[in-house]
Structure 1
Amino acid sequence: MSNPSHPTPAQNVNEENSRPSKRRGARVAFVGNSILYFNDTPRFLVRLGKGGDHTTVTVQPRERGDTPYDSYIEHQDSCLCGGASLESLWSKGNRMLQHGFSTDSAKIATSDGTEVYDVGSPNVNDLLECNPKKDASWDFVVMNDHTQGPARPESRKATETILLERYVPLLLANRAIPIVIETAAYRIPGINNSEDLGSTRDFQSKVKDGVRSYLEAMQTKLPEYQTPRMAPVGFAYLTVHDNRRELWEKLFDEWDDFHPSPSGSFLQGCVLHNTMFGSPPPLPRTDDEIANLWMNARMMHSRTENKAMPLPSVDDAAFLWDVAKMVCEEEAKQLLK
């Protein structure tokens, strides 16, 4: 049964069919929680990749016969739920109508002239399954676990099991490359029952080790051309911490000290773009270009209805862009060792 609030690909507001290119763009699915839906990372990434005057990088086929694609997102869809782990998201499914994608920006027109909310796919299986009704399979599946999940042995093991039993068969069917976000440790140690995870740096190290274990587990069942990748967002946050402490503090939502602010989402988006395409996105050079990245965001988190959180400045965006490029180059070097 189709989901009435889930648009078909032809209706999806994120399609960029008008972009001039001899190749297609990438098709990207997002699976995760509020780390992705705060400030609407899926739609943000679509706009980030197509902004400004730049030369797109053509990504070579994974296998003979695959179509090359340029370094922007042609189509995205998602299954997201606040507070979810990869394990709970599989069983509970999408909750975005309740969790924020019910704004005017989320409304899209249907073929019969009515409007529905673009909340994403109802569940992970619906998002990732391959069937004749879908235009094409996914090139990438971007995933994030609950931040504390990979940092603890028990939840880490449970996630590895669900990845192997449920997610990997769908990845194989799509021939999609999985990307797991190394989410950032909390700004304030000990909040949200994380006392046992230590300092911000210790917490981050545990998250990174856990995400690495997810990649290693999936790699045992995936062919080489689907080698899982880590998006080193947490490493990027720590790099900002060590070089510009005041900017690091601005990467977090001021209301809770663990969700991303718009600056944090910008850094995360740059890391994801580098991880997917092996090259940085276009750098926005004016305040208007930065604001345009969120022009159609379904949700911009704010503490009060009338107080929007500030967007990154031009100078801050340039610094975060550089950090994302650097940490992703470092991650690529680690994979070659």
Structure 2
Amino acid sequence: MRVLFVGNSYTYYNNLPAMLEGFAQALAPGKRLQTGSVLEGGATLSSLWKGDKARPLIRDGSWNYVVLQEQSMLGGLRINGVPYMNDPAEMFLPYGRLFAQEVKTAGARPVFYMTWSRKTDLPAQDVLTYAYASLAREQQGVLSPVGLAWQRVRRERPGLELYFEDGRHPGPAGTYLTACVLFTSLFRQPCLGAPSTLTGAPWVDTAFDTSRTETLVALPEDTARYLQQVGSEVGLATGLPETDVAAPPSPVLPSLPRGVPFEAGQMAGEWQGTLALYPEERGMAPVPFQLSLTTQGTQLAGRGRILFSHRAPLEADVTPRIEGEVLSFSFQDPHLFEGTLNLRAVLVEGELRGVVSAADPQGGRWFGSWSARSVQGSPSTEPRR
């Protein structure tokens, strides 16, 4: 049996492919299991589809199964630095379908590796269940309902820690439970009696270091037996989970208020304020934002500056445009986004109040808000009368 994993850190933490191989070696000795992987930290199915590794390997690998694992929030959506569960229809379903068709064309069967909700948001599992189960049904693929097993363990034994310390990634016990469910889903047999200690290659930077072997998990026997029991029962449950859970309501994106008309001459000078866009967990939201504007005839030019607490400021030239009551310009961020921030603002009571949007290299969507006031001594921003 040849199994290819396509996903991200939820698969390479604690080397899930190696744990699956360990289960197969112990419980299905008549079958030889080989695994391959295309794994990138933070990757979405969108970014993996657009990359140059996954599709050629699917076509050329003579795989029996291809395990597809989406980014944990179904493609990535952040508003003012806060992560939100994305609507499955935005990224997960379209790219899941593309991958499923590619897999089936290559003669393999797609396996949908249902992930788990983050530690602080257990109800989000309903959305993940809806997304993965509905796609598996539609594409006639194999559903590996890992998230449902995690949900059950969290309710039955809240003291059994499945998570890594960040509350998102799997700890060793979490990957062990994941391997239990995946083994049961693929081999259609219980994972009872699997070893409680498993070894494999560690993940180093961007790949598994096959020159080294380390202990991936070492569980007390009673804990391993419990996880095997849950994994077997969930993985062998008859039929797919019900998919009548509604798709998540779309969160409210920042929007522009009503402003007043203005001219380029009114905007020249120094503006200072804050911008909320960057990840909260990095201590960056909101961050100070400065905008220096000058007039060149009837046009504006200037420079923007974003100040961070943990790294050097980000500075870039900007060329603002005025269309009616809206000021708009772009700002380059070569670090986090490797691309462009798009900013728009209106003038309200002498203050610029704006919105910002960007896309990260994995295709995640980012939205935020910003505001700035003219510093003392700058030209008047009183509206035209």
Give yes or no for TM over 0.5.
yes
> In 2, are the aligned partners of 1:182 and 1:231 still within 8 Å (CA)?
yes
CA shift, 1:78, in A, is 0.7
> In 2, are the aligned partners of 1:30 and 1:142 still within 8 Å (CA)?
yes
Q: Identify the residue that residue 181 of structure 2 maps to in structure 1.
A: 271
> SS of the counterpart of 2:191?
coil
CA shift, 1:152, in A, is 4.6
| 1:278/1:204 CA distance change after superposition, 3 Å | same
> In 1, are the aligned partners of 2:189 and 2:236 still within 8 Å (CA)?
no
> In 1, are the aligned partners of 2:164 and 2:170 still within 8 Å (CA)?
yes
Any residues of structure 2 matched to 1:125-140 within 5 Å, and which?
Answer: 125-130=55-60, 137-140=62-65
> SS of the counterpart of 1:180?
strand
| 1:157/1:260 CA distance change after superposition, 3 Å | same
2:2 is the counterpart of 1:91 = no
Letter paired with 2:154: H
CA shift, 1:160, in A, is 2.1
1:92-144 deviations in Å (ceiling 9; x for gaps):
45xxxxxxxxxxxxxxxxxxxxxxxxxxxxx11122013xxx5xx11111111
Q: For 2:216 and 2:189, locate their aligned partners in 1 and report how far apart those are by CA, in whole Å.
A: 29
2:15 is the counterpart of 1:30 = no
Q: For 1:161 and 1:312, locate their aligned partners in 2 and report how far apart those are by CA, in whole Å.
A: 39
Any residues of structure 2 matched to 1:25-174 within 5 Å, and which?
Answer: 26-51=1-26, 72-92=31-51, 123-130=53-60, 137-149=62-74, 152=85, 154-165=87-98, 167-174=99-106
> SS of the counterpart of 2:111?
strand
**Rg bigger for which structure?**
2
Letter paired with 2:202: R
Q: Identify the residue that residue 205 of structure 1 maps to in structure 2.
A: 126
> SS of the counterpart of 1:319?
helix
Letter paired with 2:103: L
> SS of the counterpart of 1:157?
coil
| 1:125/1:324 CA distance change after superposition, 3 Å | same
Structure 2 residue corresponding to 1:290, chosen from 175, 185, 196: 196
1:277-296 deviations in Å (ceiling 9; x for gaps):
11123524xxxx433x22x2
Q: For 1:42 and 1:28, locate their aligned partners in 2 and report how far apart those are by CA, in whole Å.
A: 9
> In 1, are the aligned partners of 2:114 and 2:147 still within 8 Å (CA)?
yes
| 1:140/1:239 CA distance change after superposition, 3 Å | same
> In 2, are the aligned partners of 1:39 and 1:300 still within 8 Å (CA)?
no
Letter paired with 1:183: T
> In 1, are the aligned partners of 2:5 and 2:36 still within 8 Å (CA)?
yes
> In 2, are the aligned partners of 1:147 and 1:183 still within 8 Å (CA)?
yes
> In 2, are the aligned partners of 1:230 and 1:275 still within 8 Å (CA)?
yes
RMSD, matched Cα: 2.6
Q: Tell me the TM-score normalised to structure 1 length.
A: 0.61
> SS of the counterpart of 1:273?
helix
Q: For 1:300 and 1:267, locate their aligned partners in 2 and report how far apart those are by CA, in whole Å.
A: 23
| 1:36/1:73 CA distance change after superposition, 3 Å | farther
Q: Identify the residue that residue 147 of structure 2 maps to in structure 1.
A: 234
Q: For 1:277 and 1:185, locate their aligned partners in 2 and report how far apart those are by CA, in whole Å.
A: 25
CA shift, 1:171, in A, is 1.3
1:215-245 deviations in Å (ceiling 9; x for gaps):
244x2xxxxxxx2121111110111112111
In structure 2, list runs of 5 or more residues that go unmatched. 76-83, 206-214, 243-385
| 1:30/1:188 CA distance change after superposition, 3 Å | same
Q: For 1:333 and 1:158, locate their aligned partners in 2 and report how far apart those are by CA, in whole Å.
A: 22
Letter paired with 1:156: A
In structure 1, list runs of 5 or more residues that go unmatched. 1-25, 57-69, 94-122, 190-199, 220-226, 302-307
Letter paired with 1:88: S
Q: Identify the residue that residue 313 of structure 1 maps to in structure 2.
A: 220
> SS of the counterpart of 2:196?
helix
> In 1, are the aligned partners of 2:7 and 2:39 still within 8 Å (CA)?
yes
Structure with higher RCO (Cα < 8 A, 6+ apart): 1
2:174 is the counterpart of 1:244 = no
> SS of the counterpart of 1:141?
strand
Amino-acid identity (%): 26
Higher helix proportion = 1
Letter paired with 2:56: D
Letter paired with 1:237: W
CA shift, 1:333, in A, is 6.8
> In 2, are the aligned partners of 1:187 and 1:252 still within 8 Å (CA)?
yes
Q: Tell me the TM-score normalised to structure 2 length.
A: 0.53
> In 1, are the aligned partners of 2:196 and 2:217 still within 8 Å (CA)?
no
**4+ runs of 1 displaced by more than 6 Å?**
none
1:134-160 deviations in Å (ceiling 9; x for gaps):
5xx111111110111178564533232
| 1:55/1:311 CA distance change after superposition, 3 Å | closer
| 1:325/1:149 CA distance change after superposition, 3 Å | same
Q: For 1:310 and 1:270, locate their aligned partners in 2 and report how far apart those are by CA, in whole Å.
A: 13
Q: For 2:88 and 2:47, locate their aligned partners in 1 and report how far apart those are by CA, in whole Å.
A: 11
